[in-house]
Amino acid sequence: MLRQAAKIVDIPAGTVLFRDGGACTSYVLVQEGVIRVQKTAENGREIVLYRVEAGQSCVLTTNCLIAQECYAAEGIAETRVKALVVPAQTFRSLLARSESFRTFVFSAFSTRIADLLLLIEEVAFGRIDVRLAGWLRQHVDQRGEIHATHQDIAVELGTAREVISRQLKEFERCGWLALHRGRVCIVDAAALARASQSAPVI
């Protein structure tokens, strides 16, 4: 049933796969590339909820298909994406008939829900200085640089650009990093590591 109904699609980078309030018509399993799922508030602020990478499916899509509801966020192809697309009706039939398919779907679903709960906890209760230090450590390249604007980082951490700019400047004042247009250069990785794990950071 899966072989007969599924098709492989090639999606260019930047394509909007689904929008907030849009109908869900298919189940997508990413084979190559990355899909970014994000939520935009009424005031225009954005937060990245999660990314769907190779071998993964979108928990929001799964939820919409099971509950037969519309999307509550938007999904954008962050890179070129190759994906296996299964029509909604086939997805529901497989879910009802195949134990192995159910196990796969709900295993992926539970893992992503746990990630989302962690994100909610971090946004609601986490200190922005600690979260920012941790994010910088995770995204630094081999040259000790992060290529991202203050707005990009704000979206990733679910806060305002002004908050990120202020905290980055404080990190720079401490000698931990150097700020440049569109990139951040790490100067003291050890200090950032301590900052991402400790209580009082500065």
Domain-embedded: residue 202: no
pLDDT confidence bin for 200, thresholds 50/70/90? very low
Read off the pLDDT of residues 136-151 as tens digits, 9 standing for 90 and up.
Answer: 999 999 999 999 999 9
Q: How many angstroms separate the CA atoms of 73 and 41, rounded?
A: 10
Residue 176 reports pLDDT greater than 90: yes
Q: Is the pLDDT of residue 167 over 60?
A: yes
Kindly state whether residue 156 falls inside one of the protein's structural domains.
Answer: yes
**Does residue 141 share a domain with residue 98?**
no
Same domain, 138 and 151: yes
Q: Which residues pair with 18 in a beta bridge?
A: 75
pLDDT in tens, 22-31: 999 999 999 9
CATH number assigned to the domain comprising residue 36: 2.60.120.10
Residues 98 and 159 in one domain: no
Cα gap 183→195, rounded to integer Å: 20
Q: Which residues of 39-57 are buried (b: 16+ CB within 10 A; e: fewer)?
A: eeeeeeeebbbbebeeebb
Q: Compute CA 194 distance to the chain's CA centroid, rounded to the nearest angstrom.
A: 25
| 7-11 sheet: strands from edge to edge | 7-11, 81-87, 26-32
161 is a domain residue: yes
Same domain, 8 and 64: yes
pLDDT at residue 198 in the model = 63
pLDDT at 202 over 50: no
Beta strands in 15-80 (DSSP E): 16-18, 26-32, 35-40, 46-52, 74-77
Strands (E), the chain: 7-11, 16-18, 26-32, 35-40, 46-52, 74-77, 81-87, 145-146, 177-180, 183-186
Q: Is 165 domain-assigned?
A: yes
User: How confident is the model over 29-41, as pLDDT tens digits?
Assistant: 999 999 999 998 8
pLDDT for residue 74 is more than 90: yes
Residue 152 pLDDT class (50, 70, 90 cuts) = very high
What mean pLDDT do residues 159-188 have?
93
Helix, strand and coil content of the chain, in percent to the nearest 5, comes to: 45, 25, 30
In a domain, 43, yes or no: yes
Is residue 201's pLDDT more than 70?
A: no
The last residue of a domain, from among 124, 144, 169: 124
Residues in the chain, how many? 202
Q: What CA–CA distance (Å, rounded) separates 61 from 50? A: 13
What is the C-alpha separation between 27 and 89, in angstroms, rounded?
10
Return d(Cα 133, Cα 191) in angstroms, integer: 9
Residues 145 and 117 in one domain: no
Q: pLDDT confidence of 4, banded at 50, 70, 90?
A: very high
Same-domain pairing of 37 and 137? no
- Quote the domain boundaries for residue 83: 2-124
Tell me the mean pLDDT in the region 55-63.
Answer: 93
Q: List pLDDT tens digits, range 75-125.
A: 999 999 999 999 999 999 999 999 999 999 999 888 888 888 878 877 777
**According to the model, what pLDDT value does residue 115 have?**
82
Domain check: are 58 and 108 in the same one? Answer: yes
User: Residue 157 belongs to a domain with what CATH number?
Assistant: 1.10.10.10
What pLDDT shows up at residue 122? 74
Mean pLDDT of 150-176: 92
